[in-house]
Chain A
Amino acid sequence: AQSVTQLGSHVSVSEGALVLLRCNYSSSVPPYLFWYVQYPNQGLQLLLKYTSAATLVKGINGFEAEFKKSETSFHLTKPSAHMSDAAEYFCAVRYNFNKFYFGSGTKLNVKP
Chain B
Amino acid sequence: KAGVTQTPRYLIKTRGQQVTLSCSPISGHRSVSWYQQTPGQGLQFLFEYFSETQRNKGNFPGRFSGRQFSNSRSEMNVSTLELGDSALYLCASSSGTTSSGANVLTFGAGSRLTVL
Contacts and interface: CB of A to CB of B under 8 A. Distances in A.
Interface of A: 32, 34, 36, 41-46, 49, 51-53, 90, 92, 94, 96-105
Interface size class of B (residues with CB under 8 A): 20 to 34
Contact of B4 (A43, A49, A98, A100): A43
Nearest to A42: B109
Contacts of B105: 34, 44, 46, 92, 100
B12 to A, nearest CB: 16
A100 B45 contact: yes
B20 to A, nearest CB: 19
A76 to B, nearest CB: 16
Given A90-B43, A98-B50, A100-B105, A44 B90 contact: yes
Interface of B: 4, 6, 31, 33, 35, 42-43, 45, 48, 50, 55-56, 90, 92, 94, 96, 98-99, 101-110, 112
Given A42-B110, A43-B109, A97-B56, A102 B101 contact: no
Nearest to A99: B56
Contacts of A52: 101
Nearest to B109: A43
Most buried by A among B4, B96, B103: B103
B48 A98 contact: yes
Nearest to B107: A43
Nearest to B35: A102
A92 B107 CA distance: 13
B56 A98 contact: yes
A53 to B, nearest CB: 8
